[in-house]
């Protein structure tokens, strides 16, 4: 991508409305724009990061055996009347009437709809287990939307829903998502700790929130500090192994970890003082097992091996991609801007031509840009006629992991400088060596 032809509206000034660093940096880097309170457009740079986050989430959901579909944002109130949540849900639900005066709503979550899909076609235990997910916009009319996309009214959620014949089978489905979440957050460059959680309006029996420790987090959390160094399940984890996944779950729940709603002071005090971590955190994922809470009122049942009909046991599993992007920034930035983990960076490399319009510089950078692009790298080429200082500041702000920089003097020597955004380390090398480093 040539910066001169891209759309990346950088802000020079610090936006006054932003209270936390991630919100400030997302606005300054031109990643998002607020359209009305708590409702955002994702501008091209932000959209690139969001897509990469979603690709990792999708990859790990698929690995764990979940199947992607797509459900609509607008739902009929009827389904919610069946489950009893239409009245129970309160003011966070945006209620709408269509032209026939039928009550509709903008979905805050999808348990009812997916249960309806399930009951319309699954009739036998032989079709279980089943886990269906989508990555879709949700709307919750939050009383206090704030911190940019961290707590917005319209936001994106990956929500998965599992269906099983028995409680034991449902626990295995729960454990699959538990392990998939550990892997997902790790690949996003985050350390998320599963904490026992309240089941809230989704209702249920077993529930964990995945929390990232951050000073700006809205949750107050308490946990054993060893979680910070626990091993993440590997890429070859066997998601069909009941014992294997139970062992992962048991290990990751063996030490104290709870949010303030579930906090047990006495149990926490039993943790040796030096091992206690009491901190603030950001909830990036939340999983629930809730048994037959929806399948009973909505009549979702299958024939079991005993020939009888059984209400299915369900769970739901949410991750917030539009919250994860700012959460990653909270965890990874410095005074100059964002520092993206390579896995979600909007571009792999930014190449900075310090003197666009200079023939030798232009020729050299065209060559570098073409070679890296051909090798499959996502390259941002700063070919604008901005001052070098402005270019450096922009590159640091948008947080691309690698910068390749040169002006007329370096180009005359056949050299470029390669800068690592995270460490700030710079290395001078030949143009060929720089290309080979990233093409090899």
The smaller minimum CB distance to ligand ATP, of residues 79 and 325, is found at 325
Residue 403 binds ligand ATP, judged by CB under 6 A:
no
Residues 257 and 278: beta-carbon distance below 8 Å: no
318-337 binders of ligand ATP (CB under 6 A)? 318-320, 322-323
E-state strands within 313-414: 313-319, 333-334, 337-338, 349-353, 379-382, 402-406
**Residue 346, contacted partner among ligand ATP, Mg ion, none, CB below 5-8 A by kind:** none
| Cα–Cα nearest to 370, from 381, 360, 359 | 381
Distances in whole angstroms, Cα of residue 284 to Cα of each of 110, 122, 200: 18, 31, 16
**Residue 284, contacted partner among ligand ATP, Mg ion, none, CB below 5-8 A by kind:** ligand ATP
Residue 281 binds ligand ATP, judged by CB under 6 A:
no
Residue 286 binds Mg ion, judged by CB under 5 A:
yes
Choosing from 28, 286, 313, 419, the residue that interacts with ligand ATP (CB under 6 A) is: 286
Residue 112 binds ligand ATP, judged by CB under 6 A:
no
Residue 155 binds ligand ATP, judged by CB under 6 A:
yes
Q: Please, what is the minimum distance in Å from the beta carbon of residue 152 to ligand ATP?
A: 5
Q: What is the DSSP string of 236-274?
A: T--TT-HHHHHHHHHHHTSS-EEEGGG--HHHHHTS-GG
Q: Please, what is the minimum distance in Å from the beta carbon of residue 372 to ligand ATP?
A: 34
d(C-alpha 13, C-alpha 19), whole Å: 14
Pick the stretch among 26-34, 281-289, 293-301, 328-336 that binds ligand ATP (CB under 6 A): 281-289
| Cα–Cα nearest to 155, from 375, 359, 325 | 325
Residue 138 binds Mg ion, judged by CB under 5 A:
no
d(C-alpha 104, C-alpha 90), whole Å: 15
Q: How far apart are the first and last CA of the chain?
A: 21
Encoded tokens for 275: 């091992």
The strand pair at 219-224 and 103-106 is best described as unpaired
- The burial of 120, by beta-carbon neighbours within 10 Å (0-12 exposed, 13-18 middle, 19 or more buried), is given as exposed
Size of interface with ligand ATP, in residues (CB under 6 A):
15
Q: Please, what is the minimum distance in Å from the beta carbon of residue 272 to ligand ATP?
A: 30
Instruction: Name the packing angle between helices 21-28 and 321-331 (round to 10°).
Output: 100
The smaller minimum CB distance to ligand ATP, of residues 203 and 408, is found at 203
134-153 binders of ligand ATP (CB under 6 A)? 140, 142, 151-152
**Residue 116, contacted partner among Mg ion, ligand ATP, none, CB below 5-8 A by kind:** none
The smaller minimum CB distance to ligand ATP, of residues 262 and 375, is found at 262
Would you give the binding string for ligand ATP spanning residues 180-219, x where CB under 6 A is met? Answer: ----------------------------------------
**Residue 323, contacted partner among Mg ion, ligand ATP, none, CB below 5-8 A by kind:** ligand ATP
The strand pair at 130-139 and 67-68 is best described as parallel
Residue 285 binds ligand ATP, judged by CB under 6 A:
yes
d(C-alpha 116, C-alpha 8), whole Å: 42
Residue nearest to ligand ATP (CB): 320
d(C-alpha 136, C-alpha 109), whole Å: 10
Binding interface with ligand ATP (CB under 6 A): 140, 142, 151-152, 155, 157, 283-286, 318-320, 322-323
Residues that bind Mg ion (CB under 5 A): 286
């Amino acid at each position: 991508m040539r910066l001169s032809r891209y759309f990346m509206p950088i802000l020079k000034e610090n936006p006054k409305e932003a209270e936390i660093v991630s919100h400030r940096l997302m606005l300054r880097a031109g990643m998002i724009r607020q359209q009305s309170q708590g409702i955002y457009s994702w501008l091209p740079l932000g959209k690139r990061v969001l897509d990469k986050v979603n690709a990792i989430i999708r990859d790990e959901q698929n690995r764990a055996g979940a199947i992607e579909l797509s459900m609509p944002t607008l739902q009929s109130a009827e389904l919610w009347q069946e489950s009893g949540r239409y009245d129970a849900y309160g003011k966070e639900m945006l209620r709408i009437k269509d032209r026939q005066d039928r009550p509709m709503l903008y979905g805050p979550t999808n348990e009812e709809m997916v249960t309806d899909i399930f009951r319309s076609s699954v009739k036998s235990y032989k079709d279980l287990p089943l886990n269906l997910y989508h990555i879709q916009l949700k709307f919750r009319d939050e009383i206090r939307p704030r911190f940019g996309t961290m707590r917005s009214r319209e936001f994106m959620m990956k929500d998965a829903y599992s269906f099983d014949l028995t409680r034991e089978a449902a626990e295995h489905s729960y454990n699959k998502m538990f392990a998939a979440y550990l892997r997902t957050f790790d690949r996003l460059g985050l350390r998320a700790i599963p904490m026992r959680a309240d089941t809230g309006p989704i209702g249920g029996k077993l529930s964990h929130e995945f929390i990232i420790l951050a000073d700006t987090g809205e949750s107050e959390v308490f946990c054993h500090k060893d979680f910070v160094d626990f091993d993440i399940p590997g890429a070859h984890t066997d998601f069909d192994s009941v014992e294997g996944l139970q062992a992962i779950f048991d290990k990751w729940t063996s030490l104290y970890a709870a949010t303030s709603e579930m906090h047990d002071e006495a149990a926490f005090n039993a943790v040796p003082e030096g091992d206690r971590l009491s901190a603030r955190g950001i909830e990036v994922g939340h999983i629930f097992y809730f048994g037959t809470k929806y399948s009973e009122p909505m009549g979702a049942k299958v024939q079991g091996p005993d020939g009888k009909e059984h209400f299915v046991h369900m769970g739901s599993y949410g991750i917030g991609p539009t919250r994860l992007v700012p959460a990653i920034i909270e965890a990874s930035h410095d005074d100059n801007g964002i520092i993206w983990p390579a896995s979600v960076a909007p571009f792999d490399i930014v190449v900075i031509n310090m003197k666009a319009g200079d023939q030798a510089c232009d020729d050299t950078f065209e060559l570098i840009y073409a070679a890296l692009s051909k090798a499959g790298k996502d390259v941002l080429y700063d070919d604008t006629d901005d001052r070098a200082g402005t270019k450096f500041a922009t590159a640091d702000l948008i947080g691309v992991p690698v910068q390749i920089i040169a002006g007329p003097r370096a180009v005359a020597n056949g050299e470029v400088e390669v800068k690592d955004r995270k460490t700030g380390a710079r290395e001078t090398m030949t143009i060929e060596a720089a290309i080979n480093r990233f093409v090899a």
